[in-house]
Amino acid sequence: MTNFLKPRRAVPQEVCERGLTWIKPSFLWMMYRCGWGTKEGQETVLAIEIDREGFLWALRNACLSHHVPALHGDRASWKRQLRQAPARVQWDPERDLHLNPLPHRSLQLGLAGEAAARYADEWIVGIEDVTPLAREIHGLVRTGQPGSAAGLLPQERPLGLDDEVLAGLRA
């Protein structure tokens, strides 16, 4: 499982304590978020490979980032769940090569507390700087070569999860 973001260890500890570390398994969604690595403070794009068991642990211990009455009951129950969960899931529109939204959603997984610590200390099995790749693909898109750009995209496949893993995380 590869996600695209900065590893927790590369971020000052006080930032980790204040916010979430987000796993974005979609390359194009990350390009949307970081502007192809051109946004200030987001000029480096890392592909971080994590082990499947860690990712599954995070999903099993996650709460949706928004209230869904059919899943959570009342809003107070959902807020309690959200405060206690070490991970949260939100579903955002997937992106095309021009970073326009597509009709299907991509999972974003926010990690805090125990989940962020496990991510940094146990789950990471590889880190690759994909900034040059992001810039090359962006250059091809800008010069009207979408076929060549698409050919360079990292291969992404559905993870194939059991229904029980995602049961409480569907919006």
Q: Per-residue pLDDT tens for 119-163?
A: 999 999 999 999 999 999 999 999 999 999 999 999 998 888 888
pTM over 0.85: no
Determine the Cα–Cα distance for residues 100 and 153; give it in Å rounded to an integer.
16
Using alpha carbons, select from 94, 110, 102 the residue that is nearest to residue 156.
Answer: 94
Q: What mean pLDDT comes out for the span 36-59?
A: 95
Residues 111, 5 contacting (CB under 8 angstroms): no
